[in-house]
Amino acid sequence: MKFLTLMDMDLENKRVLVRVDYNVPLKDGKVSDDTRLKATVPTINKLLEMNCKIILMSHLGRPKDEFEKGKSTEEVRKKLTLRPVAKKLSEILGIDVAFADDCIDIELPDSDITLLENLRLHEEEEKNDANFAKKLAGHAEIYVNDAFGASHRKHASVYAITKFLPSCAGFLVEKEIKELSKLLKPEKPFIAIIGGAKADKIGVIRTLLPKVDNMIIGGVLANTFLKSRGIDIKNSKFDEESLKFAEEFVNNKKVLLPVDFIAADKFNENAEAQEASASKIPNGWMIMDIGAKTIESYKEKLKNAKTVLWAGPLGVFEFSKFARGTREIAEFIASLDATTIIGGGDSAAAVQKFNLSDKMTHISTGGGASLEFIEKEGKLPGLTALEEARNKFKK
C-alpha cells in the first residue's frame, strides 16, 4: 500500500479529523462491547502526544432503515446517538471526550478530543457526497483513516474526504493491513473456516478456494450448502441468495461440510435438543450446532495447519446449549502453532466470549471489510482513496 501513515505527517499542534469505526452495540444506553474503542487508543495517544486537537467521527447503526420503518428524526437520533460512546471513551482514556450534537455546520467544543454525532444521520454520508465531505474537512487540517471496518465503503467520511485534506492511515488500519496481508500469500497448509449466513461470503470463497488446502463451511452457510446437495435440512435456516451459488462448489473436494449436528425443536436456548446425522434430522426441527463427529474431523484437518482464517461461527454459540462446536474449534485453533486470523464480526465475538482473544495472532475489527480485503487483495475504497491523496498532497 502506497499511502502515508501517522509517522509521515507533520502533526504538531494540528487539528486532526479521525475517522473511527465506533459502530458498537449499545444496551440500555451504554456501550456493551468496547473492543473497537480500545483498538483506536494507540492512534489517539499518538495525536495527544503531538498536542493535536482531535475530532473523531463515526457512524452507528443504519438510520436509513429506521426512517423507512416510519420513525421520526427525533426517535432515530435518540436511538442511534453516539453520546454514550463519547462517555465510554472518556472512561477508557481517562480524559474528557466532548460530544458535538451534529457532525457539520456546528461550532466545535473547546476540547482536546471531540466526538461528532452519527455521520449516517445525514444521507449524504452514504452517498459519498463531495459537499458533505468538504464540510467535514472544514473541521481540521489533516485527515486520518483509522476505521478499517468502514474502509470497504465508498462513503463521504472514508472516500470523498481525502480530496480535501492531506490524508493518512492510523495505527489500527496499518495493523489490519499488515496482519490480513498474511492471507494473500499464506504459509501452507492453509485452512479457512467460513460460516455465517449471507451471500457476501460467496466472493471470498471463490477467491480463497484456489489458495486453501481445505475450506470448512459452517453455520447457516453450511445448511445452505447441504440443501444445495439435496439433503433435507428440515426447518434449518438457510440463505436463499447463497443457494444459487452453492451448487458451483458441490464437487470441490476441498470443501468440508458437517456430517452430524445438534438439532433443536425451536430457535431457543431452552429448546429440546438431540444429536442427529444429516439424514435423520427430526421433522420440524432445525440445525443449531455441529456434532461430535464433525468436531473431531475438523480438528483432524486443522492440526497441521500453518495458517488459519476463521470468519463466521459454526453454530448458535450465543446459546450455551449450542456453543460446543464453535467453542471447541476456537480452543483448538488457539492451541495451534500457526498464524491464526479471526475475521471480525461474530467470530471475534465468539473468541472474546470464550476468553481466547490473546491466543490468536490477529482479530480483525472489520467483519465485512476483512473478507473484502481478502477477496479484492487489499483494494478497498478507503485505502485506494488514501493512495490517491498521497499523490495529490505529497510534499
Residue 87 and residue 231 in one domain: no
Contact 339, 308 (CB under 8 A): yes
- Cell numbers 438510520: residue: 63
138 is catalytic: no
pLDDT digits (tens, 9 = 90+) for 245-281: 888 887 899 999 999 999 999 999 999 999 999 889 9
Catalytic residue from among 78, 127, 178, 198: 198
Quick one: which H or E segment has residue 66? Answer: helix 63-68
Residue 249 and residue 319 in one domain: yes
Residue 129 and residue 25 in one domain: yes
pLDDT digits (tens, 9 = 90+) for 5-16: 999 999 999 999
Cell of 225: 450448502
The CATH number of the domain holding residue 286 is 3.40.50.1260
394 pLDDT more than 80: no
pLDDT digits (tens, 9 = 90+) for 289-320: 999 999 999 999 999 999 999 999 999 999 99
Residue 27 and residue 67 in one domain: yes
pLDDT digits (tens, 9 = 90+) for 275-293: 999 889 999 999 999 999 9
**CA–CA distance, 302 with 307 (Å, rounded to integer):** 9
Cα angle 70, 345, 363 (rounded to 5 degrees) comes to 150
395 pLDDT more than 60: no
Residue 94 and residue 68 in one domain: yes
Residue 18 and residue 166 in one domain: yes
- Angstrom distances, CA of residue 383 to CA of 61, 95, 141, 148: 22, 31, 19, 9
Domain count of the chain?
A: 2
Residue 25 and residue 149 in one domain: yes
Residue 337 and residue 219 in one domain: yes
**Amino acid identity, residue 315?**
G
Within a domain: 326: yes
Of residues 204 and 14, the one with the higher pLDDT is 14
Catalytic residue from among 14, 19, 36, 135: 36
pLDDT digits (tens, 9 = 90+) for 165-196: 999 999 999 999 999 999 999 999 999 999 87
Within a domain: 340: yes
Residue 342 and residue 244 in one domain: yes
Residue 142 and residue 27 in one domain: yes
Residue 335 and residue 386 in one domain: no
201 is catalytic: no
Catalytic residue from among 196, 218, 345, 382: 345
Contact 151, 382 (CB under 8 A): yes
Within a domain: 198: yes
120 is catalytic: no
Residue 323 and residue 238 in one domain: yes
Catalytic residue from among 196, 219, 291, 368: 368
Question: Could you give the strand order of the β-sheet that contains 362-363, starting from the edge strand earlier in sequence?
Answer: 255-256, 214-217, 190-194, 307-311, 339-342, 362-363
Residue range of the domain that includes 386: 6-177+378-393
pTM for this predicted structure = 0.92
Mean pLDDT of the residues in the chain: 94
Give percent of the chain with pLDDT exceeding 70: 98
- Angstrom distances, CA of residue 242 to CA of 44, 156, 222, 232, 245: 40, 30, 10, 17, 5
Within a domain: 1: no
Handedness of CA 347, 351, 357, 361 (dihedral sign): negative
